[in-house]
Each structure stands twice: as C-alpha cells, then as structure tokens.
Amino acid sequence: MSSSSSALETEIFQYIDLHQNVLVENLEEWVAVESDSVQPGLRKEVIRMMALVANRLKVLGATVNSVNLGSHQLPDGQNLPLPPVILAELGKDPQKPTVCFYGHVDVQPAKKDDGWKTDPYTLTEINGNLYGRGATDNKGPVLAWIYAVETFKALKLAMPVNFKFVIEGMEEAGSLGLEELLEEEKRCFFADVDYIVISDNVWLSNRKPALTYGTRGNACFFVEVESGDKDLHSGTFGGIIHEPMTDLIALLDSLVDPTGHIQIPGIYDNVAALREEERKLYESIEFDLEEHKNNCRVKKFLYDTKKNRLTWLLNIIILPLVLFDERYSLEEILLHLWRYPSLSIHGIEGAFHEPGIKTVIPAKVIGKFSIRQVPHMDLSVVKQQVVEYLENVFSKRNSPNKLKVSMPLGAKPWVADINDPLYIAARRAARTVFREDPDFIRDGSTIPIARMFQTITQKSVIMLPIGAADDGEHSQNEKISRYNYVEGTKVFAAFLLEISKLHGQLQEISNTKTDN
C-alpha cells in the first residue's frame, strides 16, 4: 500500500498547514460558549451554540435546516426546550457518493474550581496543546471536518463527495429526540447517504492513530432512597432512625466487588463469547500500559497482573512465558475496557458535598451509577436484573424508607465490520498523513447515535478519531494538540478523496457484474 501523498493531497495539506491559525481561532470562538447540555441553567448556551454552527455551515455554502425537537421534562417536572438538530448538505451530484458526518457541540460540565489550570471556556495554548472544554469532545473534530470540506472550496477543487452534516447539542445528555428524527428522515435526508462518519472518540495511544470499530452502550440508573419530606438534625435524631444515606451507601456498595466484578446476578450471562479471530486483532494492537496509567494518573489497574517473585523467577528461566504473561495482562485490560461490561458510580444527589461540616441527615438522596454494556446484553434485561437485585439487597435491611430505582437513559453498544470500504479508505488516509498504519480499536465509551444510525439507515458507520489518548475527555484540562487538530483535518480531507476513489471502483465492479 502506498503511503506517499499525491500532488492533490500535497496542495490540500499545504493549505491546511498555512491556515492552521484560522482553525485554532474558530475553536477558540466555539470553546468560549458554555454549551453544557447536562445543567438545565445552561440550555440557552447550547441553543446559542447551535445557531453559531448553523451560521458557520451557511458560510461554508451548505443548505442548513435547524430542526426543532420541541422540549423535554426534567425529573422535577420542569419543561426545557431541546436544542435543534442541524441537518445540512453540500452537493447533490448523483455520480458521487454521499458521506454523512455526525458530531456534537454540547459539552460536559466544567468549572475552573474543579481543578482546571486554565479557564475551561478560554481556549489556551500551552506547549502545543489547546486546552478548553470541548476542545477534543467534540468541537475540535467538528471544526476539523468543516475545515477539511472548506479547503476543497478555497482551492477551487471539486468536492470528491456530496457531504451531509448532522450536528446535535444533546449528546452528553443522551441524544434526546435524535432517534425519532433519524426515523422521520430515513427516507428523506438519509435516503441518499452512502457512508456515515463519526469522530467523537480518541486513539488508544498518545501518538499512534487508530480507527474505531466498536463502542459500549450505557445503561444509566438512579437509586432514590427517601425517609420523609425534610432533612433532620443528626444530633436530635441520629441513632434512632434508618438514614436514607446509609441505606443508599449500602446499596451502592453492593454493586461491584473490589476486583471490579459486577455483583448483579446474571449480568454477564449474555456477553458475547470472545472469538479467536477477535482475540487475534487484540494481539497486534500497540498498547503502552505505563502511558495509559500516566494518562489517567493511576498507579495500578484492576487487571494489571503484577508478577510475584515466583513467576519472576520462572520468567527469567522460560522467556516465552514472560511474553505470554505480559501480552495476556495487556489483552485482559483491553477486553475489560471494550468488550466486557463495567459499572461506575457517578455521584449522589441530595448529599451534602460542600466544604465544611453540616450535621444533617438528608431526607432524600439519589445515587447515580451506570453500566457500560456490550453485545449481546439486552437493556430491558439489564434493567430488570438491576431493579430486582437492589430491591432484594434493600429488603434485607428492614428499612422503612422508600426505594425507587429507575433507568433514565439506555444506549446500545455498536460494532462495525472492519472490512467495509470505509475502513479501507480511512486506513489509507491515516497512513498518508501519519506515515503509519492505524490500530483497529474499540472504545469503552458510548456514542448513542452510532448504533441507531446503523440500524435505521442500514448504512455502514466508522469512527475516525483524531484526538489522542491523553486528551482528557470529560476531565479537567481537556485538550487537543495543535498537531492532532491540524493533521486530523488533513486525514479528513484525504479520507474524502480515498472514499470517493474506492466507491467509484466498487461501482464499476458491481456494474460489470450486472452487465455480465
């Protein structure tokens, strides 16, 4: 496979290099909008962000439709408007394939006080890294796609494909309303789409590119324990009542054991068995354990099998065992990250969490946890297993408090066929820009829309990330490096050329077959 760039690619790459400061300025403008979809008070900022995107796409020359999705109700009964979803298109040439890009411009909450070194909503460049909330998840990659398309226009080059954008503002809050919109637009906006591309995750490594062919789903749970309608003085009432917080902590503590194993009976029953060819894929992946630990600032992973003295000795004597043991532990970590379920506890609403002391017994607390689930786990079965288990644990406590378990959000996992033309084109594009083959990886996180796209449109989907493993999505000091942002833009442009070429070749083959 050739990895050198053509004259056309060289022209495009030079343009992107020369105009990289414009890319950074665009990101600065977008990061400045606090488009946090999780906090109701910031919904107007998400809506303002969607307007900025619509304008940017109009400047690009796209036909833009901001689809109103109405409103949704919060658990406290409050009605909130949903931000519009933007459906935009550029080009309608029946001779060209149509690529549809999905991205989101809402972000996770961020406050300077959370431990950010810089203001999360002021894009700040330090040592080649662009810090700011949304820099990598997902404003940077959305802008990189816009810029890749814009480069063809600026150089007066024919676009190799027709291009469509689906941009939403509720991804971090579960992509509310999007599935219905896909169903409605299945025979309209999506009718002529051939390929779907998402760039909303990161590489496995800090420097080696990757293509993603699977993500986990997510089942989010609320566990509410309530004693009465008011908080109580812990001196006046402590010692004589069943405290909701104590019940809740016991419930949460019963979910996972110290080895990370989920305690809910039956939860692993439907997990797809690992096939040999799948395990082989893992063998070729470059995975730097120390780098990964450093990225998440932990000393030890759950499956980080430290060798004891005896295995050490054995390993010195039998070298192959050393290799096997090391390989085995690395694969084990990836398997637990990508294709086994995991349970995380996120927080407790109603609990006192401010600095200082407040001697109170909260009357109502809501524990929040989620289970990242994998093929072939079924969301409704998972829900039933969780509810039955928690009710059973609670009943053994003989508490008079009220327990309510709900699953406000459920997103399914997604897996793609890596032999699809999308992966061939993306691999070529990544190779041209980075001069090395990308890793084929899965991702432990969730992009609810991936599976919906695949099921509803019946088209193939690829995740083509440009962010690095140390970008810190959802974390303090989120960043994208200038290098990844700029080179990523080149990968997107190269990808459009590659998929157009490949699509043409596939069409020719299929035409020859029909003629014969």
Ligand X SMILES: C[C@H](N)C(=O)N[C@@H](Cc1c[nH]cn1)C(=O)O
The nearer residue to ligand X, 162 or 342, going by C-beta atoms, is 342
CA pair distance 393, 241, nearest whole angstrom: 19
User: CB of residue 341 vs Zn ion: minimum separation in angstroms?
Assistant: 19
CB of 475 to ligand X, least distance (A): 11
Selecting among 171, 194, 443, 498, the annotated active-site residue is 171
Which residue number, 403 or 407, has a Cβ lying nearer to ligand X? 407
The answer to the question of whether 336 is labelled as a binding residue is no
Active-site residue among 89, 106, 168, 247? 106
353 in a known ligand binding site: no
Nearer to ligand X, 162 or 484 (CB): 484
CB of 36 or CB of 137, closer to Zn ion: 137
Residue 43 or residue 96: which is nearer to ligand X going by CB? 43
Residue 129: phi and psi, rounded to 5, are -110, 140
- Answer yes or no: are the C-beta atoms of 34 and 121 closer than 8 Å: yes
Distance CA 410, CA 174 (A): 8
Rounded to a whole number of angstroms, the minimum distance from the CB of residue 468 to Zn ion is 15
CA dist 464 and 138 (Å) reads 12
Return the one option of Zn ion, ligand X, none that residue 439 interacts with (CB less than 5 to 8 A, by type). Answer: none
Work out how close the CB of 412 gets to ligand X at its nearest, in angstroms, rounded to a whole number. 11
- 474 assigned to a ligand binding site: yes
Structural tokens at position 440: 């084929």
d(Cα 118, Cα 309) in Å, to the nearest integer? 45
Binding positions for Zn ion, rule: CB under 5 A: 137-138, 200
Q: Min. distance of Cβ 295 from Zn ion in angstroms?
A: 16
Using alpha carbons, select from 74, 401, 371 the residue that is nearest to residue 248. 401
| 106 among known catalytic residues | yes
| Residue nearest ligand X, CB atom distance | 445
Which listed option, ligand X, Zn ion, none, makes contact with residue 411 (CB within 5 to 8 Å by class)? ligand X
Q: Is 420 annotated as a binding residue?
A: no
The entry of ligand X, Zn ion, none near residue 218 (CB within 5 to 8 angstroms by kind) is ligand X
- State the Cα–Cα distance between residues 4 and 494, nearest whole angstrom: 12
Q: Which long-range contacts (CB under 8 A, 24 or more apart) does 31-35 make?
A: 31/121, 31/122, 31/123, 31/132, 31/133, 31/134, 31/135, 31/139, 32/121, 32/122, 32/123, 33/121, 34/107, 34/121, 34/133, 35/105, 35/106, 35/107, 35/134, 35/169
Q: Which residues bind ligand X (CB under 6 A)?
A: 137-138, 172, 174, 200-201, 218, 220, 409, 411, 445-447, 473
Which residue, 141 or 160, is less far from Zn ion as judged by CB?
141
When CB distances are held under 5 to 8 angstroms depending on the partner's kind, the choice from Zn ion, ligand X, none that residue 478 binds is none
Q: Which two tokens stand for residue 13?
A: 């790459």
In sequence order, the β-bridge partners of residue 224 are: 366, 404
Instruction: Yes or no: say if 173 and 106 are a contact pair by the CB < 8 Å rule.
Output: yes
Catalytic residue at 171? yes
Give min distance, CB of 259 to Zn ion, in A. Answer: 28
Could you tell me the sign of the dihedral formed by the alpha carbons of 383, 384, 389, 391, in that order? positive
Q: Using CB distances below 5 to 8 A depending on partner kind, what does residue 185 bind out of Zn ion, ligand X, none? A: none
Q: Is 359 left (phi over 0), alpha (psi -120 to 50) or beta?
A: beta
Which residues fall within 8 angstroms of residue 307, CB to CB, at 6 or more apart?
315, 325
Of 31, 29, 20, nearest to 477 by C-alpha is 31
Binding-site residue ranges: 104, 137, 172, 200, 474
Binding-site residue ranges for Mn(2+): 104, 137, 172, 200, 474
Residues catalogued as catalytic? 106, 171
